């Protein structure tokens, strides 16, 4: 992986918990040449692990009390639905954030995937 923006969330199936993986470097598009600012890093997904990638529109979505949706809600939802098909995890996250925020003010983009055996 390379880049910098939001943490990656990995549900570790063997440990039954979520892990946050921070990214380092420069945001894509901020400079003409990001080669010197980009750090290639790696991580491993084991069989059954679920990876969630998302934009800040998901975690910064605000409710009527001006509270952000936050990373913790993503982790709770993913942990509670980790054995479900990834499509269901994705749809649950999207439904939860839509119920959380009365007005969507930013893009919400997500990718949810699972490593199979």
Helix axes 70-81 and 86-100, enclosed angle (nearest 10): 140
Q: What is d(CA 27, CA 30) in angstroms, rounded to the nearest whole number? A: 6
Domain ranges for the chain, please list them. Answer: 8-114
Note the pLDDT tens digit of each residue in 21-71: 987 666 555 667 767 767 777 889 999 999 999 988 999 999 999 999 999
What per-residue confidence (pLDDT) applies to 1?
60
Quick one: average pLDDT of 82-95? 97
What per-residue confidence (pLDDT) applies to 42?
84
What per-residue confidence (pLDDT) applies to 40?
74
Considering the entire predicted model, what is its pTM? 0.86
Q: Indicate if the pLDDT at residue 94 is higher than 80.
A: yes
Quick one: average pLDDT of 79-83? 96
């Amino acid at each position: 992986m390379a880049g910098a923006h939001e943490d990656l969330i990995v549900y570790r199936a063997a440990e039954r918990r979520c892990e946050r993986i921070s990214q380092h470097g420069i945001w894509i598009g901020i400079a003409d040449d990001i080669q010197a600012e980009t750090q290639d890093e790696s991580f491993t997904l084991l069989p059954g692990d679920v990876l969630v990638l998302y934009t800040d529109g998901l975690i910064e979505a605000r409710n009527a009390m001006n509270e952000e949706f936050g990373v913790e809600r993503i982790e709770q939802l993913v942990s509670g639905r980790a054995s479900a098909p990834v499509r269901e995890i994705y749809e649950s996250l999207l439904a939860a954030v839509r119920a959380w925020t009365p007005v969507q003010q930013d893009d919400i983009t997500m990718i949810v995937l699972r490593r199979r055996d």
